[in-house]
Structure 1
C-alpha cells in the first residue's frame, strides 16, 4: 500500500508501542507520526521495531500453550508448554495437537512495509546505519516465518505490501513448499547477518549474532524435518506432503545442517562464553538465567515490574513455581519435575542391585552424587529458598521388608501398601506408631487431601529461572520481572553438536558436548562415541519408527538435561518426529519419598503419577492445521496439512 497520506497510528509508552490500524487521513493530526517521522530517523525506526519485537513468537513466561503469545493470564504457568507436553507434571490433562491458529501476516505486513519503503529514506542515514536497520527488519520477518514454519511447514511467502482492494487473483496467495519456506527464512537471516552490526550493547535488540542464533535454531529444525518426516509415512496418502507443502526430501537435510553449523561457528567469534562465574556448579547453572551480565546470553526478552503498561511486562513465574505460604504469597507451586526427566541426569542409586530400596539417613541425601546441573535446575528436599527449607515427603511405611517393585507402581492394593502398612495423609496430618507421633507428609507435599495446586507431586520443584532474592511477601501474581533468555551459547553449542553429528562429524560434535558437560559438573564429560544403532528412546523407552546411533540419542538427551524448562523439548520431539511415540500413553513417573518408621530411615520409590494421568500425541501434531478461518477466506491455501 502506498503510504502517502496513510499513517500508522500508535501510542508509545516508555519506548513500547501499541499499533492501531492503518487509516487514510487527509490532514496530519497532532501527536501521530507518519512515515517520514518513523522511517526518516533512527529513533523513529527503533520505535516502529519495538512494536514488532513485542509480537515475536517467543515461547516465554507468558506463552499459553493452547492460546498463544502474550497471554495476559495469571495461570500461564499452569498452562505452559512444558505442562502441555508432559515435561512438567501439574493440572494439565492432554497434549494440544491442534495449536491455536498462529497466522501473523499482519505483523509481516508491517515488516514488509518497512522493507519496501525504507529505501526512500536512504539519504538520511549513513550507509552502515541504513544497512543495519534493513538487516534488522529481515531478522524480524524471519522470526515470524519461523513461528509459522515449525507449525505448518510450507506457508505463503509474501514479500510485498498487498493492496487490500486488489482482487482475489492477487490476494489469494498459495502456499509455498516447505523447502522454499525454510530457505526463505535462511535467506532473510543471511541478509540480516551480512548487514547488521556486531554491537551487543543494546539489550533486547537483535544484532548479527542474534540473527545467527536464530539461524542456528531454525536450520537445525529444518534439517531434522527433512531427514525424519519420511518416517511418518505421509507421502503415500497426504496431498500436502506429495506437493511438498508438509515435508521435505531427506536429501535436503544436510544443506540445512550445514547452515546451522555455519551459524554456530559465527557466534563463536563473538564476545560470548559459557557462564562460569560461581565455583559451585549448581549455583552457577541456576545463576546464569538471572545474571543480566552473563557472557552466555545472546538475546533476552526483557520484563520490568515498574512498567506502567499493566501486566504486559510482568509475569508470575516465581508465584506459580514456589510453594505457599513459605516461599510464595500467591496460590503456590503448579508444576513439578517427573522422574522421567530427573533420571536423565547423573543421579544417586535409590534402588540396590538386589532390588531393595536404598536407605537414606535424611531425605536430602538424595542430592548427594546428583549432577550439579540437575541441582541448579530443580529444588530437592533440604534445599533452601527465601529462608525456608524444602520438605517433601509422600508418606510413611511402618515397615518395608521387600523390594522396590513390591509397591506395584504405588497402587493401594499392593500387599506392602495395604493393611495400614503404608500411611498417607493430608496437610499437617499426624499418625502415632508405637507411641511416637509422626507428621505424615512434608510441609510442601505430597498431600492426599489436596489437588494439583501447591502440592508437591514427586520430589522436586523447579529452580531454573526462580529469583531467590524476592521476599516471600512480594512473590505474588504479576510481580516477577526476570528476563527470558531467548538465545544463549549453551543452546547454540548443542545445536552445532547435533548438526555436526548428523553430518557425520562425530568427534567434532562431541567437542561441544564436552564443553557443556564440563560446565554442568557431569561425572563423564566426554562419553565415548557409540555407533550402535537403536530405535529405543530414553524417555518412556519409546520405539522410534527409525534407527539412530546411540551417540546421537545421547546428544538428544544432553539437550534435555541442559535445556529442561526452557520450552525446547516439545519442539525437539516434534522435529525429530518422535512425539507420537514418546507421548504414547505416557504416564509420568514420580519419585516419592517415604519414612520407614521401624528403621528410622528414608527410601525413595519410583511410582506412577497418582492420578494415572497420561499424555498422548498423535501423528497430526507434527503439522498443525492451516487455520480453517484463513482457508475460508482463501481456498488456495489447500490442501490442508496431514491428518486434518
Structure 2
C-alpha cells in the first residue's frame, strides 16, 4: 500500500511540475498533423488523398465476391449465402449509396488545396484534379444507384442557429448529375498526368474513360427510359428526356476515341498462342500491362492483400482447406458463342434427347470463344498446373448414378470388391458448400502464383476498375446508337480477335443484341451486369420473377434468365462397351435455387430512407417504392 501511495505522489509531482513548464505546453503534438502542417507538404497531402482513393465506392469487386451471386452470373456455394437463391425479390435498398460524409471530406480537400500557398503549382494542380475526379466519381456512383441527388460542391457548415433549412438542398435532375460528371472530366483531363504507367491514381486516360462510360449510361437511360415510363419523376430527378440521347452518345464516342487516339493503351496480348490463358493473365499480370487504366492495387509487403483466390480457388488444388465459393452459372457459360460467330446451347444430348459421349470433359466446350476458359474453370481444365477434379459420379448402364456426399468420396462399383473414388474432389455435390455446385469454378482474377491461396500469404492481384477493352466496347455501342454500324463493327472486331474469332463482323451483324452479348462475355465478374441491365431498362424483363427454363437463345438480350442452372459431367461405367470411360453431361438446378430472380420497377433506383427525407423535406422519394 505504501508503495502505491509513493508512486502516486511522484506522478502528481511530475504532473504539477510539467504543467508549470510553459515551453512544454508550447510543444507541437507528435501524433497529430495539423491542417497547416499537412498543406505545407506534398507527401502529407498525398496521404490524405490516398485515404480518399481507398474509399472509392463499388458494389461488386474482388473484395466482395458474394455480390456476384446476386444475378445470373454465379451461384454462391457457401451455406451462409444460399438465401440469395431462395429469396430473390431484390430489396430496394440492395445497392443503396448516400455517403455525404465522404463528399464533405472531398469538398474540404478541394477548398484547402485551393487555398494552400506552400505547395508547388504542379503538385497543387494535380492534387486538385485528382480530388475533383474522385468527387465526380462519387456523383457518378450516386446517380447510378439513386438517380438525381443534391449537388453540393462546397463544405457546408452549420451555424447552430436552430434553423438548418439553408443546408437543405433539393435533388438535382438525373441529367444534371451526369452533365456534372461529364463536364468535370473535360475540365480536369489536361491537369492530370498523361501517363499510362500510372494505374492507381487518376490520369488523363482515366478521365476520358470515365467520361465515355458516364455519357454512355446517360444516353442509354434517355433512349430506353421510354420503355419504362413509370420509372420517372416529374421534376426529372429520375429519368432523362429522350431528346438528350444523341448528344450523350456523341459525347461518349468522342471521349472514347480521344482516349484511343492517345495511343497509350492496348489490348493485352502477351500469350497469343493460348488466348484463353492470355485473357486470364490480363487480370493478374501487373507488369507492363497496357490494358489496365485504373486499379485498386494490393501489395504483399504492405500487408494489404486480397483473399479472392483463397475464397474461390478449386478445392482439389487448394493450398488451404478454402475455396470454391463462387460457381459460374450455365446461363453465363453458354453465352460464349462458337468461333464461327454463331450462338448455340451445348450439345450434350442428340436430337432425340439421348446422351452424347465425349472422350474428355473439355471436348464439349471446344471451339468456343477463348474468353470462356479465361473466365471460367471448366471440368478437366487446369489451375496452377494441376487438373481440376470436377465430376459428379459414375453413370451406370441402367442410367443410375453412383456418387458420394463428400469431396472425393469412395464406394465399391458393381463387379468390383475394392472401394474407389466415385465423385470429384471438387464435386459437384448438391448442397455441399465449396463444391462446384454448377459444375464450374470462376477463373477470372484467380492468382496463379504459388502461395496466393494460403491464409498466411494471400494475393496481391489488383482489382481493375477501368480497362481499355471496355473503352472499345463503349465506342462500339455509342457508334451503333448513332447509326454508325461499320465503325461499331470495327471496334467490336478488335476485342473479338483477341478472343480467337477469325471471321469479322460486318455492319449488318451489328444489332442491340450483339452489343449486349459482347459486354456480357467480355466484362463478366467486373461489376457491369447490374448497371448495364438497369441503363438498358432490361433488368425487369430478364429477371422477371418467373421460374423460366434455361434459354435456348443465349444471344437474345431480352431472353429471361431468372434461375441459376448448372451442367454436371459424369464418367460412364459400362465395362465391355465402347462407352466405358467416356463422359456425359446433365443439366441441373442446385436444390438451393428455390426462387427465381425478380427485379421490380422500384429497383431501378435505390431507396432514399425516411430518415434522410425527414431531415431534408426537399428530398423527394424514388418512384415505385
TM-score, L = length of structure 2? 0.83
Q: Tell me, in whole angstroms, the C-alpha distance in 1 between the residues paired with 2:425 and 2:319.
A: 13
* Residues 462-511 of structure 1 deviation map (CA, whole Å, 9 limit, x = unaligned): 11111112237x52387222110111101111111111111111111111
Unaligned stretches of 5+ residues in structure 1: 1-25, 64-75, 401-415, 532-550
* Residues 501-552 of structure 1 deviation map (CA, whole Å, 9 limit, x = unaligned): 1111111111110000000113544256247xxxxxxxxxxxxxxxxxxx11
1:593 to 542, 545, 569: 569
* Max Rg structure: 2
SS in structure 1 opposite 2:472? helix
Q: Tell me, in whole angstroms, the C-alpha distance in 1 between the residues paired with 2:321 and 2:239.
A: 45
Partner of 2:292: 297
1:32 CA displacement: 2.8
SS in structure 2 opposite 1:604? strand
SS in structure 2 opposite 1:223? helix
How does 1:381-396 map onto structure 2 within 5 Å?
Answer: 381-396=379-394
Q: Tell me, in whole angstroms, the C-alpha distance in 2 between the residues paired with 1:635 and 1:375.
A: 52
1:493 to 459, 468, 472: 472
1:459 paired with 2:435, answer: no
SS in structure 2 opposite 1:625? coil
* Residues 50-103 of structure 1 deviation map (CA, whole Å, 9 limit, x = unaligned): 11101111345465xxxxxxxxxxxx42x22x1112311123323444225421
Partner of 2:311: 320
How does 1:306-317 map onto structure 2 within 5 Å?
Answer: 306-308=301-303, 313-317=304-308
Range moving further from structure 2, 602-611 or 430-439: 430-439
Q: Tell me, in whole angstroms, the C-alpha distance in 2 between the residues paired with 1:631 and 1:29.
A: 41
1:120 paired with 2:102, answer: no
1:291 CA displacement: 1.1
How does 1:217-296 map onto structure 2 within 5 Å?
Answer: 217-234=213-230, 241-270=233-262, 271-279=264-272, 280-292=274-286, 293-296=288-291
SS in structure 1 opposite 2:328? coil
Q: Tell me, in whole angstroms, the C-alpha distance in 1 between the residues paired with 2:502 and 2:584.
A: 24
1:153 to 121, 124, 147: 147
Q: Tell me, in whole angstroms, the C-alpha distance in 2 between the residues paired with 1:83 and 1:153.
A: 24
Give 1 or 2: higher strand fraction: 1
Sort the Cα spacing of 1:47 and 1:562 in 2 relative to 1 into closer, same or farther, 3 A. Answer: same
Sort the Cα spacing of 1:554 and 1:192 in 2 relative to 1 into closer, same or farther, 3 A. Answer: same
SS in structure 1 opposite 2:320? coil
SS in structure 2 opposite 1:193? helix
Partner of 1:621: 603
1:633 paired with 2:625, answer: no
Aligned partners of 1:595 and 1:603 also within 8 Å? yes
Partner of 1:89: 75
1:116 CA displacement: 2.6
Partner of 1:104: 99
Q: Tell me, in whole angstroms, the C-alpha distance in 1 between the residues paired with 2:69 and 2:604.
A: 18
1:603 paired with 2:584, answer: yes
Sort the Cα spacing of 1:101 and 1:588 in 2 relative to 1 into closer, same or farther, 3 A. Answer: closer
Sort the Cα spacing of 1:172 and 1:124 in 2 relative to 1 into closer, same or farther, 3 A. Answer: same
SS in structure 1 opposite 2:571? strand
Partner of 1:555: 515
Q: Tell me, in whole angstroms, the C-alpha distance in 1 between the residues paired with 2:487 and 2:244.
A: 22
SS in structure 1 opposite 2:566? strand
Aligned partners of 1:381 and 1:392 also within 8 Å? yes
Aligned partners of 1:327 and 1:385 also within 8 Å? no
Q: Tell me, in whole angstroms, the C-alpha distance in 1 between the residues paired with 2:328 and 2:483.
A: 34
1:515 paired with 2:494, answer: yes
SS in structure 2 opposite 1:89? strand
Q: Tell me, in whole angstroms, the C-alpha distance in 2 between the residues paired with 1:354 and 1:122.
A: 80
1:457 CA displacement: 1.4
Partner of 1:403: none
Partner of 1:358: 356
How does 1:536-575 map onto structure 2 within 5 Å?
Answer: 551-575=511-535
Q: Tell me, in whole angstroms, the C-alpha distance in 2 between the residues paired with 1:379 and 1:62.
A: 17
SS in structure 2 opposite 1:635? coil
Sort the Cα spacing of 1:325 and 1:354 in 2 relative to 1 into closer, same or farther, 3 A. Answer: closer
Unaligned stretches of 5+ residues in structure 2: 1-25, 77-81, 339-345, 546-561
Aligned partners of 2:61 and 2:527 also within 8 Å? no
Partner of 1:336: 327
Q: Tell me, in whole angstroms, the C-alpha distance in 1 between the residues paired with 2:213 and 2:571.
A: 45
TM-score, L = length of structure 1? 0.81
Q: Tell me, in whole angstroms, the C-alpha distance in 1 between the residues paired with 2:260 and 2:590.
A: 43
Q: Tell me, in whole angstroms, the C-alpha distance in 1 between the residues paired with 2:508 and 2:466.
A: 28
Q: Tell me, in whole angstroms, the C-alpha distance in 1 between the residues paired with 2:169 and 2:473.
A: 37
Q: Tell me, in whole angstroms, the C-alpha distance in 2 between the residues paired with 1:554 and 1:360.
A: 31
Aligned partners of 1:324 and 1:331 also within 8 Å? yes
